[in-house]
Structure 1
Amino acid sequence: MPITIPLTLSSEMPTVVQVTTSSEQRECVVVTGASTGIGAASARELARRGFHVLAGVRRDCDADALRAPGIEPVILDITQPDHIAELATRVGSQAGALRALVNNAAISVNAPVEALPLEEWRRLFEVNLFGHVAVTQALLPALLRHCGRVVNISSVGGKIAMATYGPYAGTKFALEAVSDALRRELTPLGVQVVVIEPGGIRTEMADRGIATTSRLAEAMSPQQRDRYGPLVQAVTAQTAAFTTSGRSADDAARVIAKAVTAGKPRTRYTIGRDAALLTRLSRVLPDRMLDRILAAGLRPYYPKTTTA
């Protein structure tokens, strides 16, 4: 960002000198889970808006693909304390203020509650919840110094848990609760907390989630396959359909950038008509009626020889 500085030389007219602001002096935003999808799109959108983005990625090849003016990739696994410590050190060395932390890293798993091994439950919570808490704790001193904000990427699954979404929705319900508590703790201290609730988004994460669901379904016992096989197939087909017709990652990135830059951000933003509709229904409908609506919506996706 060029800064115009007038320099007066003796009695002559002022001479204008153009000075370029370095990345170290620009406001900084940290985005976790920026290798692909919403995270990568958000890093690009925030860089376009003039921020210096520290973009957390898992692999060197992802860093090479994302690196661009305004984007500094950093190797970051949010379940690794040493990675988080290195990130906090890098933020501390940044001359520009830390404007926001965007907690976006996540993995997607769909499986019946009975059928998902406990180690998979723990891995899911480590990434989708505990990792975010760890990064937030590490960067809060910088956010407090600069009156920054925390933007937590939740999901429509943080408001409504459909069949086989128990593990994933469990992490997002928990993230919503942590976000509410954090907002009430930090607002008096000048730090705002915002939650983003996307619905169907066309990203690589959705494809990876479907692949993981298929892998876990194959590992179910014969009895579990009898109980849940058609349900898992229906949910997988419905998820693929919703993803194909969903919003783009760039659309989601613009909402996230708004949450970062708005003078008075809302506490929550939904992304997509499906997210807006489902979150409203979850607030106003009795549980049993909502169960019937969700079951009816899933029924067309069951295998043809199976009745829901």
Structure 2
Amino acid sequence: MAYMVYDMVGYPAYATPCGKGGIGEALVKEYTSCGVHAIATVLPNESHDHLTEAGITWFPLDVTVEKSVIDLKQNVLAIAGDYLDILVNNAGICYTMTAIDTDVEAVKRMFNVNVFGPMQLVHHFHDMIIKACGTIVNIGSIGGIVPYMYGSSYNASKAALQHWSNTLRLEMSPFNVKVITVISGEVGTNILKNDVNRELPEGSYYSPLAIDFKRHVQRTPSNRFEYAANVVAQSLRSSPAAWFWYGSSTRVIRFFDTFGWRTFFDFVFYRDFNLGKLRMAHLARMKQICE
């Protein structure tokens, strides 16, 4: 039987419960249905009832704490021995805000989860994966490819993860270890719950778009179960794609990122995020100041 560790939960920036109902739960259940002994993780203070009820093995884990990762490895060794076939790095938090209004401390917490967490897991589990000639799956995002509005910091964390994953794939190739970077479109997940009540700060230059911003953080992404089925199927292939694009808008983004000019998406998002309205408001404000 194949063994895998699946870092299931989306880690919140502000201790908000979110273990149940995200793509993590969908993925771990899909792996289980494929005959994989999936070992899920949840934050130490999170509910695990949904995993226990589904008969899924789970352990507590905080990817930002090295001792927690070391303890997880000992628990996995007791179940799987020295071999780990699949490691899925899915822990992630979202921080939605304009670049100039960013709370840098919040971004540091996000990088600890989105970037340094996967690095820490690979560092401690690499020997088990190499022995199994296994697979590492890193869950990225289209945000790491295009200048998706209000996501500059999140986009930066995913770009960092994806480029690290890209090099990791090359470095692990002599050991016959496969590394898949999943470029995800928007998928139904709990990751947005942390931002659902976020508002632009008072006095922000983007205040004319306050209603648009509120609508953006309260959006509802697409089906997580369809996403899970496709990602799992790809990761179980003998020769999976190095970069696997799946989810809303990924086909169009992949095409124009490959064949379009570098600033192509500036035009697209300028229109989609109503930046013309912001520009008109700014010009009116400047005119009023000059008068």
With normalisation by structure 2, the TM-score equals 0.85
AA at the equivalent of 1:164: Y
The residue aligned with 1:9 is none
Partner amino acid, structure 1, of 2:243: R
Is the alpha carbon distance of 1:293 and 1:250 closer, same or farther for their aligned partners in structure 2, counting shifts above 3 Å? same
Q: Match of 1:15?
A: none
Please show how residues 73-222 of structure 1 align to structure 2 within 5 Å: 73-95=58-80, 97-211=83-197, 213-214=198-199, 217=200, 220-222=201-203
Task: Indicate if the aligned counterparts of 1:157 and 1:169 stay in contact, CA closer than 8 A.
Answer: yes
**Counterpart residue identity of residue 55, structure 1:** A
Greater strand percent: which structure?
1
| Max Rg structure | 1
CA distance in structure 2 between the aligned counterparts of 1:68 and 1:50, rounded to whole angstroms: 17
Aligned 8 A contact 2:187 2:248 in 1: no
TM-score scaled by length of structure 1: 0.80
Instruction: Look up the SS of the partner of 2:101 in the other structure.
Output: coil
1:114 shift after superposition: 1.9
* CA shift in 2, pair 1:149/1:40, >3 Å: same
Q: Is the 8 A contact 2:186 2:248 kept in 1?
A: no
Query: Any conservation in 1 of the 2:195–2:217 contact (CA below 8 Å)?
Result: no
Aligned-pair distance for 1:300? Answer: 9.3
Between the two proteins, the alignment pairs up a number of residues equal to 271
CA contact (8 A) 1:233 1:302 kept: no
CA distance in 2, matches of 1:79, 1:255: 28
1:283 aligns with 2:258: yes
Decide which moves more: 261-270 or 123-132.
Answer: 261-270
Sequence identity (%): 24
Q: Deviations over 1:196-237 (max 9, x none)?
A: 1221212222233333x33xx2xx352xx2x02234542442
The residue that corresponds to 2:14 in the other structure is none
3-state SS, counterpart of residue 94 of structure 1: helix
For the 8 Å contact 2:2–2:85, the answer to whether it is kept is yes
1:21-36 matched pairs, under 5 angstroms:
26-34=1-9, 35-36=19-20
Preserved contact between residue 50 and residue 70 of structure 1 (Cα < 8 Å):
no
Higher relative contact order (CA 8 A, sep 6+): 2
The residue type equivalent to 1:234 in the other structure is D
DSSP 3-state at the match of 2:29 = helix
Question: CA contact under 8 A between 1:156 and 1:197: conserved in structure 2?
Answer: yes
**Counterpart residue identity of residue 174, structure 1:** A
Cα distance change of structure 1 residues 103 and 302 upon mapping to structure 2, 3 Å threshold: farther
Instruction: Identify if the C-alpha distance between structure 1 residues 86 and 232 changes in structure 2 by more than 3 Å, giving closer, same or farther.
Output: farther
Task: Please state how far the C-alpha of 1:60 moved relative to its aligned partner.
Answer: 5.5
Look up the SS of the partner of 2:62 in the other structure: coil
Give the root-mean-square deviation of aligned CA atoms: 2.4
Helix, strand or coil at the partner of 1:178: helix
Q: How is 1:62-73 mapped onto 2 (pairs within 5 angstroms)? A: 62-68=47-53, 71-73=56-58
Unaligned runs of 5+ in 1: 1-25
Number of the residue aligned with 2:38: 53
Rounded to whole Å, the distance in 1 between the matches of 2:102 and 2:275 is 25
Question: 2 CA distance for matches of 1:77 and 1:232?
Answer: 34
Q: Distance in 2 between the 1:103 and 1:173 partners? A: 15
1:100-133 CA deviation, whole Å, 9 max, x = no partner? 0100010011112221122112111001000110
Amino acid at match of 2:65: Q
Distance 1:267 1:31 in 2: 19
In structure 1, how many angstroms separate the alpha carbons of the residues matched to 2:126 and 2:241?
20
| Alignment counterpart, residue 224 of structure 2, candidates 234, 249, 253 | 249
Which amino acid in the other structure matches residue 271 of structure 2? A
Q: What are the Cα deviations for residues 154-186 of structure 1, in whole angstroms up to 9, with x where unaligned?
A: 111111122321100000000010011000000
* Runs of 4+ that moved beyond 6 A: 300-303, 305-308
- After superposition, the C-alpha distances for 1:258-299 in whole angstroms (9 at most, x for unaligned) are 132111101122222412212322232223332111111222
